[in-house]
Amino acid sequence: MIWKIKERQKKWLEGETGTVVKNWGGKVSIALAFPNRYAVGMSNLGFQHVYYALNRYETVVCERVFYPEPEELELIRQSPGHLLSVESQRPLLDFDLVAFSVPFENDYTNLIEMLLLARIPPRAKDRAEVRPLVAAGGVALFLNPEPLADYLDFLFAGEAEPLVPEFLDFLHRLGHGSASRCEILEEMAKSIQGIYVPSLYEPVFREDGTLDTLTPLVPGIPERITVRRADLLTSEPCRTTVFTANTEFSNVMLLEIGRGCGHGCRFCGAGFVYRPVRYHGAEKLLETAAPDCGTNRIGLVSAAVSDHPEIVDLCSSLLDRGGSLSFSSLRADSLDSQLLSALESSEHHAVAIAPEAGSERLRRVINKNLSEDQIYRAAEMLAQRGILNIKLYFMIGLPTETKEDLEAIVTLAKGIHHHVVSGSRGKKRLATVTLSVNSFVPKPFTPFQWTAFAGTVELREKAKWLQKALARVPNIRLHFDLPKWAYVQALLARGDRRVSFFIDKVARGDSNWKQAMRSSPLNPDFWVMRERERDEKFPWEVLDHGVDRNYLWQEYERALEARQSPECRPGKNCKRCGVCGP
State pLDDT tens for residues 93-139. 999 999 999 999 999 999 999 999 999 999 999 998 778 999 999 99
Report the C-alpha gap between 179 and 181 in whole angstroms: 7
Q: Encode burial over 530-568: b for 16+ CB neighbours within 10 A, e otherwise.
A: bebeeeeebbbbbbebbbeeebbeebbebbeebeebeeb
Cis before 276? omega within 30: yes
Report the C-alpha gap between 401 and 356 in whole angstroms.
12
Lowest pLDDT segment from 146-150, 179-183, 292-296, 550-554: 292-296
How is the beta sheet containing 324-327 ordered, strand by strand? 253-256, 297-301, 324-327
Label residue 301 left, alpha or beta by phi (over 0 means left) and psi (-120 to 50 means alpha). Answer: beta
* DSSP symbols for 282-336: HHHHHHHT-GGGS-SEEEEESTTGGGSTTHHHHHHHHHHTT-EEEES---GGG--
Mean pLDDT for the stretch of residues 162-168: 96
What CATH superfamily classification does 2-226 receive? Cobalamin-binding domain (3.40.50.280)
Residue extent(s) of CATH 3.80.30.20 domains in the chain:
252-494+546-560
| Domain(s) of CATH 3.40.50.280: residues in the chain | 2-226
Percentage of the chain modeled with pLDDT above 90: 75
Q: Which helix (H) or strand (E) holds 244?
A: strand 243-244
Helix pair angle (403-423, 372-384), 10° resolution: 30
396 contacts 440 by C-beta, under 8 angstroms: yes
Summarize the confidence of residues 359-367 as an average pLDDT: 97
Q: In this structure, are residues 336 and 385 in contact, taking their beta carbons and an 8 Å threshold?
A: no
Close Cβ partners of 5 (under 8 Å, ≥ 6 residues apart): 68, 72, 75, 76, 82, 84
**Residue 426 reports pLDDT greater than 70:** no
* pLDDT reported for residue 140: 96
Number of continuous H segments (helices) and E segments (strands) in the chain: 21, 21
Q: What is the mean pLDDT of the chain?
A: 92
* pLDDT (0 to 100) of residue 178: 76
Distance CA 331, CA 329 (A): 7
Contacts for 369 with CB less than 8 Å, ≥ 6 apart: 263, 333, 363, 564, 567
Nearest partner of 370 among 381, 359, 385, 379, judged by Cα: 359
pLDDT, mean of residues 518-537:
95
| Closest among 514, 409, 418, 414 to 463, alpha carbons compared | 409
State the CB neighbour count (10 A cutoff) for residue 454.
24
- State the CB neighbour count (10 A cutoff) for residue 155: 25
Identity at 4, one-letter amino acid code: K
Rounded Cα distance between 199 and 134, Å, is 13
- HSE (side-chain half, CA atoms, 13 Å) at 360: 7
Share of the chain above pLDDT 70, in %: 97
The predicted pLDDT at position 1 comes to 64
Closest to 311 measured CA to CA, from 321, 301, 323: 301
pLDDT band at 499 (very low <50, low <70, confident <90, very high): very high
| Contact (CB, 8 A) for 145 and 542 | yes
For every residue of 396-430, which 3-state class applies, written as one string? ECCCCCCHHHHHHHHHHHHHHHHHHHHHCCCCCCC
What is the average pLDDT across 562-571?
A: 86
Rounded CA-CA distance 567/552 in Å is: 14
- C-alpha to C-alpha distance for 494 and 491, rounded to whole angstroms: 5
Q: How far apart are CA 524 and CA 517, in angstroms?
A: 7
Cβ(258)–Cβ(302) below 8 Å: yes
Q: What is the model's pLDDT at position 368?
A: 94
Quick check: 573 pLDDT over 90? no
pTM above 0.85, yes or no: yes
Q: Is the pLDDT of residue 517 over 70?
A: yes
Q: Measured between alpha carbons, how far is 506 from 503 in angstroms, rounded to an integer?
A: 5
In the predicted model, what is the mean pLDDT of residues 510-520?
93
Q: Which residue has the higher pLDDT, 420 or 226?
A: 226
Contact, 139 vs 265, CB < 8 A? no
Asked if 517 and 524 touch (Cβ cutoff 8 Å), the reply is yes
Residues 6+ apart with CB under 8 A from 544: 224, 225, 226, 227
Comparing 1-5, 246-250, 274-278, the range with the smallest average pLDDT is 1-5
Query: 266 or 344: whose pLDDT is higher?
Result: 266
How high is the pLDDT of residue 131? 82
Backbone angles phi, psi at 28, to 5 degrees: -75, 125
Q: Which residues contact 266 (CB under 8 A, 6 or more apart)?
A: 365, 366, 367, 446, 447, 448, 555, 556, 559
Q: Domain 252-494+546-560: which topology? A: pyruvate-formate lyase- activating enzyme (3.80.30)
Q: What is the mean pLDDT of residues 222-247?
A: 93
Kindly compute the dihedral angle of the four CA atoms of residues 52, 55, 61, 63, in this order, to the nearest 10 degrees: 10
**Is a pLDDT exceeding 80 seen at residue 328?**
no
Mean pLDDT on 171-186:
81
Q: What is the Cα–Cα distance from 471 to 105, expressed in whole angstroms?
A: 32
The pLDDT of 263-290, averaged and rounded, is 93
Residue 335's pLDDT is 82
Sequence-separated (6 or more) residues with CB below 8 Å from residue 82:
2, 5, 75, 76, 91, 117
Greater confidence (418 vs 1) lies with 418
User: How confident is the model over 452-481, as pLDDT tens digits?
Assistant: 999 999 999 999 999 999 998 888 999 999
SS (H, E, C) 184-231: HHHHHHHHCCCEECHHHEEEEECCCCCEEEEEECCCCCCCCEECECCC
